[in-house]
Each structure stands twice: as C-alpha cells, then as structure tokens.
C-alpha cells in the first residue's frame, strides 16, 4: 500500500474513533460530597419541613433534590455521629452514649469507650482510597486522643470541637462538666479568633480547606454546625427578625408546625399530635416576665438557625464561583431531635453562669457573653408529630430531616421509605463509586441509591429489623412498626408498639392487640444487643441525676473556695446586721425609759 493510502486509512480510523467517543456517554468526574450536620434540629425546624424559620439555602437544596420524611437516627449526638461516620451501630463503633450519661459499670466496655473504635474505618478513610481529600470543621465529639482525632481517621485538614457543645461567641465551655472548650486544629489544640461566631468561622475554615485541594481532586467536606445546640446564641439582627413570631406561645406554634408538615406531605393527613407530658408548663400559666424570656429564647433559636443557613449559603456561593458546585452532592440532616434540657431554669446552674461570667440580661440575651435555652415546651413544638424530643427514643427524638441534592439524585420531592443514619456511608460510597475497605466490620446500613433513583420502593423489607439504644432509650423498627421504650426523663421503661407510618405521634399503643409482633420484635432487639455489646442499665439509673451530680461536683471543685468565701461573707453580713440591730434596739430602749 502506498504512503498516501496508509494516510487515508489512518484518517478514516481516526475519524471513526472520534465519532465513537462522541457517541459514548460522558463519564462524570467523582462528585464532591458536602455533608452538613445541624445540631439538635427537630423534624419541623427547617423552612421546607414546615417551619416559620427562614432557611432559603437549605430549602433550595431540597427543591433541587429529595427530602426524606421517615429518616431516623440515635436520640443523642455522639452515637449518631459515630453511625454517620462508620455505617455501623454506635456500640460497634465504640460510642454507645455520651460520657456524662455513662454509668461507671459500663466505662471499661469496648462499646462504651467514648471514642471511635480503631478497627472501624471512617467515611473519610473509605474515600481516601478513591483519591478524595477530606476536611472537617465543627463538632466532632468522637474522641480527642491522638488516635481518634479526625486527622488520624482519614481527614486531611480539621478544625473541630470534641465536646457536646460550647459557647458560640468565644472559646469557653457551656457546662460545668467541661474544664475548657476542647477545640483542635488538625492534631493540636486550636485557638479561636477574637471575632469568633461559630457558624461564620466554621464556613470560613471550610472554604480555606477546600481552596487547598489540588486541581481535579474530589473532596469530602463535613461541617458539624453548633447551631442550634444550647446555648442558643445569635447576632441581634437575626434575633429581631422574629419579633412577634412566637408571641402566641408554644401550643399554637406546635399546631402550626404540625399542620404545615401535613400540608407538605411529610406526615399523613390524619396524623395526630403526640401526648404532651404532664410535667410540661402551659403557656397560659406563665407570668408576663416568664413569657417575655421564653419568647426571646425562641427568637434566638430561630435566629441562630437562620444565621447558620446564611453562612451555608456563603459556602454554596463559593462552590459556584469556583466551578465546584455542579459536581457536588449535598446532604443536610440533624443528629437527633430538638434539645429539651433547660439549664437556665435551674437556680444552681444560674449561679454557675454568674461565676463563669455569662449574662442573663434579657436585653442582650443571645448576644456575646449571654446564655439561653428554649426548654421542653418549645422543643416538643419542633419534634416529629410532637412525640417527645432529644434523649428519648420516641419519634421526636429520632425522626429528623434529611435532604440530598446533586448529581445522581433526581429532584423527586418527598421520599417516604424508612431509612437510618447507618445508611449514609454506603450511600455516599455508591454515589462516589468507592468500594468499601475490607478491614472493618460489614455495614449494617444499606445504600439509598435505588430508592433515590426510583428503582426500588423501599430500603428495607418488612422482615428487616433495625434497632437502636442509647442509655436505655431503645427502639426496634420493622416494616411500618416500631417497638419503643423510654426511661427517664419522660419515660417509664415500658415497651410500646406503634405503627409510626400512620401514627407518627405514637398516640396508640398496639401491644395488647399484637402480642406476637411484640414478642418477635423483642427477640430482634435482644439479637441486636447481643451482636453489638449493648449493656443493661444498672438498677435505679437516671441520666438526669448523673448530669446534675456531675455538675454539682465540678462546680464545687472549681468554685468551692469562692462559694465558701461568699457564704462566709453573707454570714458575716448577717451577724453584723444583727449586732447593729441589737445596738439600735438597746439605744431606743435607753432613750424611751428615761432616768
């Protein structure tokens, strides 16, 4: 063949190859993963889930993706975060409960060590093998030994808080149990800037980390916001946007949220609100001063969440400006239901606040140097169908919002299949095409991919049991049913059966009608406890009392001499006043008796 003939043949071959390449579907780059974990957000706290709180950036993500109406997690923060990072039950991951809720009898057990188990890979470690850069800012709460900090668990950069919470305006603790606010930058203790506000700083740091990513490298971005954990704190401009919104009280607000969730298709049309515990206050029984402080506290809570959404919007805008947004999958969720603890209502805790320099002045409440909490009545207004709240296994403590948006996720509106926190690791690995490491235990969670794509009606079958336990608060989900047991503060230790698909308020106990189902689900729960090292709670256990006792002990350790000095000063003042009164009486008697 002549040279010209060879050239002509090569042209045809090259042309055919070009046409073939054009005909093939484009292979998408590995998507970035942006994981947004809100702290203590209730099922109806986000605008798109029926709230009056303004969350436009989160709502926009929901509009372009999916919202889950039946997503569940643990009732407390650290166990939820352990499952989120590992895809296995929190006990298997080594974080069965919070340290200050763990009785001494459980302290030495591997399931209760309070730090991630070394033999359980994290999501960041799975993604590292696929070439991802991983970054985390905000609340970690999975241990701060050298082996358990994020930098040792697959993350390339980190600025994290390893505690249940902290002040949002400065580097100081929020509970007597903590000696300091445990912030860490990479592997060392970190220092916060003077102009720190948590949501702003965490986004600033994340943008800084993302900008360090090599060109073309996918990244995993995880922000654990402090909003809206106690203390609720926000800039005044956000607080004042809710002037007048909560003046009608929590009963009215609870009904409004419930109606809005039904209107959005998140709850059944005939869903009934859960029972309100008898010990909760009635709005009409509050004094004017109590109402004013309660309204202000809820305004702060709302302003804090809106401020968080604003700063999330800054991250979204940055990703759009740098061209990373279109190839980023977003997940927005909460770690558990709304916080009901109301420490500022306790006189002893208010004394600690004064000793620490926290202000309770209502005129500056929520701003720098102040401390606020919303209490159980507002918390139950934001929970799923009003069935209790955080620290309880009821729907209000475990059913939380989940939004997913981005490439590979069709805009499908509301998805109703049951799903669980352990499902997110296998889902993210599927979305990124990353095989799981084989060095750890098998996932108990399942990928949501088929449900997201509409090729499967459910994640779990009617005979699949999914269980949880945290400090004795326990539940088993199976099909449409849930077997649940709550201990203190608002439980009685009795197992109850509910169909939570039609009765998310858990208003009707079906135990007497379906004893065989109860027996089978109890067997499922016992299998779960045996497989995962779940220990029974000791007789007379009370998490509420444990926290109170620990707080008292820490206050005495730190301020014992100060309190003694104050008491001695008060005693001296009383004695001095008594002496002066005695002298005055003697003088009066001497004057009136005459010579």
Catalytic residues: 77, 141
Mention every residue, 6+ apart, whose C-beta is less than 8 A from residue 590.
none
CB burial of residue 169 (10 Å; 0-12, 13-18, 19+): buried
How many C-beta neighbours within 10 Å does residue 579 have? 10
State the alpha helices, DSSP H only, in 166-222. Answer: 198-210
Residue 300 in contact with residue 372, Cβ under 8 Å?
Answer: yes
Nearest to 498 by CA among 510, 515, 516: 510
CB burial of residue 427 (10 Å; 0-12, 13-18, 19+): buried
Q: What does the radius of gyration of the chain's CA atoms come to, in whole angstroms?
A: 28
Nearest to 422 by CA among 33, 73, 39, 122: 73
Residue 74 in contact with residue 398, Cβ under 8 Å?
Answer: yes
State the alpha helices, DSSP H only, in 344-466. Answer: 347-356, 375-382, 395-398, 424-432, 449-453
User: For the chain, what is the largest distance between any 2 Cα atoms, rounded to a whole number of angstroms?
Assistant: 150
| Angle (deg, nearest 10), helices 77-86 and 424-432 | 30
Q: What is the DSSP letter of 319?
A: H
Q: What is the DSSP letter of 24?
A: S
How many C-beta neighbours within 10 Å does residue 18 have? 10
DSSP 208-269: HHHTTSPTT--EEEEEE--TTSSSP---HHHHGGGTTTTTT-HHHHHHHHHHHHHHTTSS-T
Give the span between the Cα atoms of 294 and 373, in whole angstroms: 9
């Amino acid at each position: 063949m002549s040279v010209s003939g060879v050239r002509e043949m090569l042209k045809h071959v090259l042309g055919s190859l070009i046409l073939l390449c054009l005909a093939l579907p484009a292979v998408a780059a590995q998507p970035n993963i942006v994981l947004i974990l809100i702290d203590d957000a209730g099922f109806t706290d986000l605008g798109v889930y029926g709230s009056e709180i303004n969350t436009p950036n989160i709502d926009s993500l929901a509009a372009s993706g999916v919202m889950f109406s039946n997503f569940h997690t643990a009732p407390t923060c650290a166990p939820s975060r352990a499952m989120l990072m590992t895809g296995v039950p929190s006990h298997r991951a080594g974080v069965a409960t919070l340290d200050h809720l763990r009785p001494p009898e459980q302290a030495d057990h591997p399931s209760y060590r309070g730090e991630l188990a070394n033999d359980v890979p994290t999501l960041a470690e799975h993604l590292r093998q696929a070439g991802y850069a991983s970054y985390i800012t905000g609340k970690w709460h999975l241990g701060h030994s050298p082996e358990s900090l994020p930098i040792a668990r697959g993350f390339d950069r980190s600025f994290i808080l390893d505690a249940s919470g902290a002040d949002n305006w400065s580097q100081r603790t929020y509970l007597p149990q903590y000696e300091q606010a445990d912030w860490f930058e990479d592997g060392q203790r970190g220092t916060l800037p003077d102009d720190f506000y948590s949501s702003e700083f965490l986004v600033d740091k994340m943008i800084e980390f993302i900008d360090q990513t090599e060109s073309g490298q996918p990244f995993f971005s995880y922000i654990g916001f402090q909003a809206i954990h106690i203390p609720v704190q926000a800039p005044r401009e956000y607080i004042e946007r809710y002037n007048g919104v909560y003046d009608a009280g929590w009963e009215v607000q609870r009904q409004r949220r419930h109606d809005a969730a039904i209107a959005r298709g998140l709850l059944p049309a005939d869903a009934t609100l859960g029972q309100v515990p008898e010990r909760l206050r009635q709005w009409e029984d509050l004094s004017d001063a109590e109402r004013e402080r309660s309204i202000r506290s809820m305004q702060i809570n709302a302003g804090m969440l809106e401020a968080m959404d604003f700063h999330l919007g800054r991250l979204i805008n940055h990703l759009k400006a740098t061209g990373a947004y279109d190839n980023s999958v977003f997940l927005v969720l909460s770690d558990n239901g709304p916080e009901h603890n109301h420490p500022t209502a306790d006189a002893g805790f208010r004394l600690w606040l004064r000793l620490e320099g926290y202000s309770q002045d209502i005129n500056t409440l929520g701003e720098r140097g102040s401390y606020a909490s919303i209490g159980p009545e507002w918390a139950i207004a934001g929970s799923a169908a009003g069935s209790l709240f955080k620290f309880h296994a009821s729907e209000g403590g475990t059913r939380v919002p989940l939004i997913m948006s981005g490439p590979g996720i069709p805009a499908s509106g509301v998805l109703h299949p049951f799903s669980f926190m352990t499902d997110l690791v296998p889902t993210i690995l599927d979305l990124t095409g990353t095989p799981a490491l084989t060095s750890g235990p098998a996932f108990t969670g399942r990928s949501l991919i088929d449900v997201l794509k509409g090729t499967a009606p459910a994640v779990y079958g009617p005979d699949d049991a999914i269980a949880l336990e945290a400090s004795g608060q326990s539940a088993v989900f199976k099909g449409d049913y849930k077997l649940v047991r709550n201990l203190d503060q608002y439980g009685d230790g009795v197992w109850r059966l509910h169909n939570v698909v039609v009765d998310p308020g858990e208003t009707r106990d079906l135990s007497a009608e379906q004893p065989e189902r109860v027996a089978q689900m109890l067997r499922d729960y016992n299998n779960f406890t045996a497989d995962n090292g779940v220990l029974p709670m000791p007789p007379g256990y009370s998490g509420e009392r444990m926290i109170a006792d620990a707080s008292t002990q820490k206050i005495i350790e730190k301020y014992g001499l100060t309190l003694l000095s104050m008491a001695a000063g008060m005693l001296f003042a009383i004695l001095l006043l008594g002496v002066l009164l005695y002298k005055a009486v003697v003088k009066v008697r001497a004057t009136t008796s005459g010579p």
